Amino acid sequence: MGLTGKSVLITGGTGSLGKTLIDRILRGGAGEPRKVVVFSRDEAKQHEMRLRYLTARSSDELPVVRAARDLLQFRIGDVRDLHSVAGALRDIDVVFNAAALKQVPSCEYFPSEAVATNIGGAENIIRAIRDLGRPVETVVAVSTDKAVKPVNVMGMTKSMQERLFIAANLGCPGTRFVVVRYGNVLASRGSVIPLFHEQIRNGQPVSITSTEMTRFLLSLDDAVDVIFAALAEAGPGETYVPKVASARVVDIAEQLIGDRAIPMEVIGIRPGEKLHEILVSEEEGMRAYHHRNGYIVIQPGLPELRPDGLPAAPLCGEYSSADELMTPTQVRDLLRRRDLLIEKAPQLEAELLR
């Protein structure tokens, strides 16, 4: 399934992932949709996005600008509000649910807020489809490695969100609910690399929570790739997981610092953090398999949604960020390819030399 001729709603569409997803859709990455609705509660970010397309001048951006002017619509609303969600879902075929509270420490201090957005928001999408008869064809829920064996509020609420959407396949037989799950997105808002850049720019010690901490690493485009793959091929209740690189956070910091006289400071694990993240648990591994296109597919835990039974060659075992770590050289190469080394960011280097 692609997006050609479809009406698309992206909740949380002004976030880091939402912006890349919208750009890829407008470039025709999944077909030619009929309309694309950006649904979020931040009017300033919606205004910034609108202006970006209105003021773009480069030849590379012009096709996207034309598509945006024809297809893109903006809607202020909050997934916490059922009426707001129900109105946004009118005349929508495909939903990408990227709305979330995702900052681990913030969710630890305000757990009820995380519940309201990450769980209540999912319930509102399901209720609008099931109880109000919104004829949505597909919902793609965006999840996180923190939902696996969760130890923090953010992960617990995203784990519940996954289960709500998977179970919704039984109550909403006309809609296909699927999940995508991935790890840390390189340089996304609130992630560690922008923090390290800021500390290096200011000549401050780079803060490391633990020298043993590891994380999965992928780009925003990698994240959109797995979303498009799940949209095209996932069965009801399936979870798509990308096979991606992982690294020690201290190696990332060292490669960003380079030969600068900037120390690292170990500050201890923050509230709710893990040393290692897991994308597939050992229990899920028994019903997971390697997809031919480079993904891991987890079949739903509900047997009613597994018409063909368990996979013939299951993954067997968990998929952890502590497995098969990149070497420091490989980390540096990855950062260089993604233009994330400070030597690749002249404005940062200029400030360091000032």
Task: Look at residue 2 and tell me if it is in a domain.
Answer: no
Host domain of residue 11: 7-353
Q: Are 234 and 204 in contact (CB under 8 A)?
A: no
Q: Are 99 and 121 in contact (CB under 8 A)?
A: yes
Secondary structure class of 39 (helix, strand, coil): strand
For residues 158 and 183, give the distance between their C-alpha atoms in angstroms, rounded to a whole number.
13
Secondary structure class of 199 (helix, strand, coil): helix
Task: Look at residue 244 and tell me if it is in a domain.
Answer: yes
List pLDDT tens digits, range 86-126. 999 999 999 999 999 999 989 999 999 999 999 999 999 99
Q: Are 304 and 235 in contact (CB under 8 A)?
A: no
For residues 349 and 181, give the distance between their C-alpha atoms in angstroms, rounded to a whole number.
35
Specify the CATH number for the domain of residue 201: 3.40.50.720
Task: Look at residue 45 and tell me if it is in a domain.
Answer: yes
Name which of 141, 158, 148, 60 is nearest 103 in CA terms. Answer: 158
Task: Look at residue 191 and tell me if it is in a domain.
Answer: yes
Catalytic residue among 6, 19, 102, 146: 146
Task: Look at residue 121 and tell me if it is in a domain.
Answer: yes
Q: Are 80 and 118 in contact (CB under 8 A)?
A: no
Task: Look at residue 1 and tell me if it is in a domain.
Answer: no
Sign of the alpha-carbon torsion through 335, 341, 346, 351: positive
Tokens describing residue 198 = 């800021």
**What percent of the chain is modeled with pLDDT above 90?**
78
pLDDT band at 188 (very low <50, low <70, confident <90, very high): confident
Task: Look at residue 43 and tell me if it is in a domain.
Answer: yes
Looking at the structure of the chain, the number of domains it has is 1
pLDDT band at 344 (very low <50, low <70, confident <90, very high): very low
CB-based contacts of 249: which residues, under 8 Å, 6+ apart?
A: 192, 208, 209, 210, 213, 214, 215
Tokens describing residue 170 = 């039984």
Task: Look at residue 271 and tell me if it is in a domain.
Answer: yes
pLDDT band at 190 (very low <50, low <70, confident <90, very high): low
344 is catalytic: no
